[in-house]
A = this chain, B = another copy of it.
């Protein structure tokens, strides 16, 4: 067990040539070798504990069973289940996931992709949120997560944020709200832009206009806190649609500081249904996104593209679920 066995060792033990051993051991080409010798070779491989040297194989085949998975930051709670879904789907196909964080930083992303490019990866799953163009040629298999290019030629998996925002707006309108504001996510992210747009035309469908829109500097509690203060300095909505759960939590904090009660004075909604938002006070009304499924589906799509690179890239939209909790009530006027 000192040096790992090579295919030459296996071939010698089975008294065949290395090329034959290669054919016998590769499912693709197994039928090009007689069953008897194939069995002998497989047996030899087992006794030697042979496992192929992936470096040599990659060098020869110009590909590998490793996929690059690029995300902004694993500590953002939406990504762990996505990555887990990716990994599960990859593993079922014998692939492995090479993980990298970019912090949304363009240079760090370029750097990472350059390093990864050297690794003969079979493909990439990109969940970075910036809306710039892709640093890949059409020869590289790519699936985008929660993001789309303007050019429609890249496979992608997204949640139906649009439908989610509409469901939130509809809920608020049904409960009697007409003075509704939006704490938008950063407008250089596709989710930020998309939810903002959906908010506007969701309202428009009810012949309503937003009572105010404030753009947050980040999808963070702090940014949500600050944006809420700015928003409420100007207008008095009875309901606030936040760009995501983190922003909604920041909104909770600012409301408390201003002596406004949620939901009695202001209803609040989030987006993502992060862990523990059901335990907040009040429990947050939000939209649940199938994070794990998004990751799983993205990996499946990538494997499909690896197998058939020429096929037209699919764009999958996964359904979301409205989760109604205590943070939404009728407008204060109803009870006045």
Contacts and interface: CB of A to CB of B under 8 A. Distances in A.
Interface of A: 1-2, 4, 51-56, 58-59, 64, 66, 69, 73-75, 77, 79-81, 83-84, 87-88, 91, 94, 96-101, 112, 114-120, 137, 139, 249, 275-276, 279-281
Given A84-B75, A118-B53, A279-B276, A91 B96 contact: no
B118 A54 contact: yes
A115 B84 contact: no
Contacts of A66: 98, 119
A81 B75 CA distance: 6
B55 A4 contact: no
Nearest to A87: B101
Contacts of A58: 55
Instruction: Specify the main secondary structure of chain A where it touches its partner.
Output: mixed
A42 to B, nearest CB: 15
Tell me the number of copies of this protein: 2
A226 to B, nearest CB: 19
Contacts of A1: 137
A118 B77 contact: no
A155 to B, nearest CB: 21
A59 B94 CA distance: 20
A117 B4 contact: yes
Nearest to A97: B99
Contacts of A101: 84, 87-88
A4 B117 CA distance: 9
A15 to B, nearest CB: 24
A87 B99 CA distance: 8
Residue from A55, A73, A100, A114 with most neighbouring chain B CB atoms (10 Å): A55
A253 to B, nearest CB: 10
Given A276-B275, A276-B279, A55 B99 contact: no
Nearest to A68: B96
Contacts of A73: 84
